[in-house]
């Protein structure tokens, strides 16, 4: 071991002397074992191939109930890549206890990590299933994925990665239990391999397969010689005492026993989580991204897909399409993506649409209020919403969805539709607004009253509300600029649980 450490130090020194070229390797001659016996340490070192790499930060996600080897196998391998900082990343501060009872203090939490070169998502069982429904974690993974060179999963960690939508249309593998079914639910193509690569996405089968996958990534980064040295240090040369370890090598009766045992444990948890999705906590408004960043000309790429974000019921959401190529309006799970074709509004229900930013809430129960006067414009509506919140005992310092169903005498609206590649700013933003009008049209308006911290970030400057609409017949939708709401229209304010 001590000698190997000396080799490591020498190898890394030799590697840093090379010019910047990922594929550049040290010279090598084919030398037989007898010829190497009399070589000095320095002479032998010159025969070892070492590829350069630029991986600096590796993060292994950990959580209560994580499978020990799912996390620690890849961690051990990646810790042997010189020049990398390998961190265990927890969902929250405090100790983590694995499925086998190992308790340890993680290095950091997801709140403190905004970029990684390699992300490892290990599996487990009950807590893994719960994390499949943890939208905060799923969004963190989507955000981190934008920075990674490798996004990976081990075992049932693929269930979590799949739920983010990042495996949609990609080849993948995972834990043997219902692997094809669960991956297919998230649009992935099951390979059945021990580990699978599709672009930067690497997925592995269960537990020990994560170590194989990590060694394969190490080989891609550092070369076979470096990986072989690490494998020798690990004495990694598995020889199981009996045949088994895969569906194909397991006796039918043993396989059936394991399938029924897994199902008896997994199905109640899936049912519990699905029931929880049906019992939606009301009033919680989520926001993704920042409208102000768009106005200031920052990245116009999509930050999330609707099919992954709208995974629960009773969805209401508004926001712009990536590249400012349209408007997103979601009204009680009905999706309307409005764009402009030949100067006219055009709508679709494409769930694969990506949003630049999004205001979203899941709201099942509502209070109905008939408006007591005509509301002339957005300022009138905002004042009326504020007064109605107060009258209904709701805190105006919080954020809420609201909706209005009526026939509007008149409405002005726009669909953001950028037609050039000019750098974006306030002036270009106004130019990108394609404006239209409606008269005497039955509509459904979805709006959000935002908390003060998000004023200007998710609404227009100084405004507490942001409104979209869709016509009752779904033929058009967009961003409300001006509208008259007749007296007696139905205003819906959210009920609390």
What pLDDT is attached to residue 2?
38
Mean pLDDT, rounded, of the chain: 87
Coil, helix or strand for 195? Answer: strand
What pLDDT is attached to residue 282?
56
**Cα–Cα distance, 17 to 44 (Å, whole number):** 17
Stretch 452-471: mean pLDDT, rounded? 81
What pLDDT is attached to residue 497?
56
**Cα–Cα distance, 98 to 102 (Å, whole number):** 5
Domain annotation covers residue 254: no
Domain annotation covers residue 36: no
Share of the chain above pLDDT 90, in %: 65
Per residue in 129-161, pLDDT (tens digit) is: 999 988 889 989 998 999 999 999 999 999 999
What pLDDT is attached to residue 284?
76
What pLDDT is attached to residue 160?
96
What pLDDT is attached to residue 19?
35
Domain annotation covers residue 27: no
CB hemisphere CA count around 374 (13 angstroms)? 8
Comparing 66 with 311, which gets the higher pLDDT?
66
DSSP code for 454: G
Of 214, 234, 254, the residue that ends a domain is 234
Quick one: 303 and 442 in the same domain?
yes
Domain annotation covers residue 206: yes
Quick one: 63 and 211 in the same domain?
yes
Domain annotation covers residue 432: yes
Quick one: 349 and 222 in the same domain?
no
Stretch 416-442: mean pLDDT, rounded? 91
Q: Are 437 and 410 in contact (CB under 8 A)?
A: yes
Domain annotation covers residue 18: no
Of 174, 208, 234, the residue that ends a domain is 234
**Statement: residue 450 has pLDDT above 70:** yes
Per residue in 284-303, pLDDT (tens digit) is: 788 777 666 666 666 788 87
Domain annotation covers residue 259: no
Q: Report H helices in 296-414.
A: 306-309, 378-391
What pLDDT is attached to residue 186?
85
pTM: 0.60
Comparing 397 with 194, which gets the higher pLDDT?
194
Quick one: 222 and 133 in the same domain?
yes
Quick one: 304 and 450 in the same domain?
yes
Per residue in 13-71, pLDDT (tens digit) is: 434 333 333 444 444 444 555 566 778 878 777 888 889 999 999 999 999 999 999 99
Q: Which domain holds residue 68?
A: 53-234
**Statement: residue 77 has pLDDT above 90:** yes
Quick one: 194 and 314 in the same domain?
no
Quick one: 374 and 433 in the same domain?
yes
Quick one: 112 and 220 in the same domain?
yes
**Cα–Cα distance, 189 to 103 (Å, whole number):** 35
- DSSP calls for 175-204: -STTHHHHHHHTT-EE---SEEEETTEEEE
Rounded to 5 degrees, what are φ and ψ at 44? -65, -35
**Statement: residue 234 has pLDDT above 60:** yes
Q: Structural domain tally of the chain?
A: 2
Reference 125, options 230, 221, 9, 261; nearest CA is 261
328: CATH: 3.30.1330.80
Quick one: 300 and 438 in the same domain?
yes
Stretch 209-233: mean pLDDT, rounded? 96
Share of the chain above pLDDT 70, in %: 88
Q: Are 62 and 95 in contact (CB under 8 A)?
A: no
What pLDDT is attached to residue 21?
39
58: CATH: 3.40.50.880
Quick one: 65 and 197 in the same domain?
yes
Active-site positions read 155
Of 234, 250, 275, the residue that ends a domain is 234
Domain annotation covers residue 143: yes
- Residue 412: in which H helix or E strand, if any? strand 400-416
């Amino acid at each position: 071991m001590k000698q190997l450490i000396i080799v490591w130090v020498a190898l890394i020194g030799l590697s840093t002397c090379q010019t910047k070229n990922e594929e550049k390797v040290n010279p090598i001659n084919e030398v037989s074992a007898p010829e190497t016996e009399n070589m000095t340490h320095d002479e032998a070192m010159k025969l070892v191939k070492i590829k350069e790499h630029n991986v600096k930060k590796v993060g292994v996600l950990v959580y209560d109930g994580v499978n020990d080897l799912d996390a620690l196998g890849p961690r051990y391998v990646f810790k042997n890549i010189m020049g990398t900082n390998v961190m265990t990343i927890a969902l929250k501060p405090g100790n983590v206890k694995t499925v086998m009872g190992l308790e340890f203090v993680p290095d950091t939490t997801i709140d403190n990590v905004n970029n990684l070169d390699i992300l490892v998502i290990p599996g487990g069982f009950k807590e893994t299933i719960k994390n499949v429904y943890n939208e905060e974690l799923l969004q963190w993974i989507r955000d981190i994925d934008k920075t990674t060179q490798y996004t990976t999963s081990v075992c049932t960690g693929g269930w979590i990665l799949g739920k983010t939508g990042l495996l949609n249309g990609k080849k993948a593998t995972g834990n043997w239990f219902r692997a094809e079914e669960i991956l297919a639910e998230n649009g992935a193509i099951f390979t059945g391999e021990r580990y699978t690569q599709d672009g930067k996405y690497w997925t592995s089968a269960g537990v020990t397969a994560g170590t194989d996958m990590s060694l394969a990534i190490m080989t891609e980064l550092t070369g076979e010689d470096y990986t072989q040295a690490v494998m020798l240090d690990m004495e990694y040369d598995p020889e199981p005492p009996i045949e088994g370890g895969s569906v194909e090598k397991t006796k039918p009766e043993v396989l059936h026993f394991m399938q029924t045992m897994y199902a008896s444990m997994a199905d109640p948890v899936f049912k519990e989580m699905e029931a929880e999705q049906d019992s939606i906590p009301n009033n919680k408004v989520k926001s993704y991204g920042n409208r102000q960043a768009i106005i200031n000309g920052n990245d116009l790429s999509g930050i999330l897909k609707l099919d992954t974000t709208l995974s629960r019921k009773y969805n209401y959401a508004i926001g712009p399409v990536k590249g400012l190529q349209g408007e997103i309006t979601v009204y009680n799970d009905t999706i309307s993506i409005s764009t402009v074709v030949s100067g006219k509004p055009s709508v679709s229900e494409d769930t694969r649409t990506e949003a630049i930013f999004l205001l979203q809430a899941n709201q099942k129960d509502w209070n109905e209020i008939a408006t007591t006067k005509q509301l002339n414009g957005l300022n009138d509506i905002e004042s009326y919403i504020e007064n109605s919140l107060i009258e209904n005992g709701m805190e105006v310092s919080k954020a809420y969805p609201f909706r209005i169903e009526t026939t509007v005498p008149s409405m002005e609206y726009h669909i953001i539709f950028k037609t050039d590649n000019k750098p974006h700013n306030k002036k270009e933003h106004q130019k990108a607004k394609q404006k239209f009008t409606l008269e005497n049209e039955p509509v459904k308006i979805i709006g959000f009253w935002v908390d003060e911290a998000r004023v200007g970030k998710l609404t227009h400057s100084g405004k507490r509300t942001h409104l979209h609409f869709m016509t009752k017949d779904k033929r058009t939708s967009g961003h409300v600029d001006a509208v008259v709401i007749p007296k007696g229209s139905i205003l819906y304010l959210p009920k609390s649980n």
